Copies of this chain bind each other. A is one copy, B any other.
């Protein structure tokens, strides 16, 4: 499982970057239901961050139902979540898209110009 952190102080909390990317990995089928995520400490070490930060990400993923933690055994992708996550992903994409379009309108930016970008 490969995760890339943008530490550029881009105002996105590390733990959310993890949450988001795990969602992506599941939605795109690169993480399959039942598959085990790296142990908290291992992922923390690999990303050179504090275990607490990974733990928080995993906790949020569990609250979303995307992952299930069997204590003392590990953390696993929950069953039958691929579809839900997929629609989730699209929904997550919609608001920023709308905002972008709205912003563009306020700027009177031509549609073609926007598409080029």
Kindly supply a per-residue 1/0 record for chain A positions 65-109, scoring 1 wherever the CB is within 8 Å of any chain B CB and 0 otherwise. 000111100000000000000100110111011111001101111
Instruction: Indicate the member of A7, A68, A100 with the most B CB atoms within 10 Å.
Output: A100
Query: In angstroms, how far is the closest chain B Cβ from the Cβ of A16?
Result: 11
Chain B residues with CB below 8 A from A90, complex form: 107, 109, 113
Within the assembled complex, what's the spacing in Å between the Cα atoms of A86 and B94?
Answer: 26
Q: How many residues of A contact B (CB 8 A)?
A: 31
Identify which of B71, B94, B115 contacts A117 (C-beta below 8 A): B94
Q: Is the CB of B98 within 8 A of A117?
A: yes
Residues of A that sit less than 8 Å from B by CB: 7, 9, 24, 27-28, 63, 68-71, 86, 89-90, 92-94, 96-100, 103-104, 106-109, 113-115, 117
Q: Is the CB of A114 within 8 A of B86?
A: no
Q: Is the CB of A96 within 8 A of B107?
A: no
Q: Is the CB of A106 within 8 A of B28?
A: yes
For the complex of A and B, the 5 pairs showing the least CB-CB separation, nearest first, are: A89-B107, A97-B117, A24-B106, A96-B100, A94-B117
Q: Is the CB of B100 within 8 A of A114?
A: no
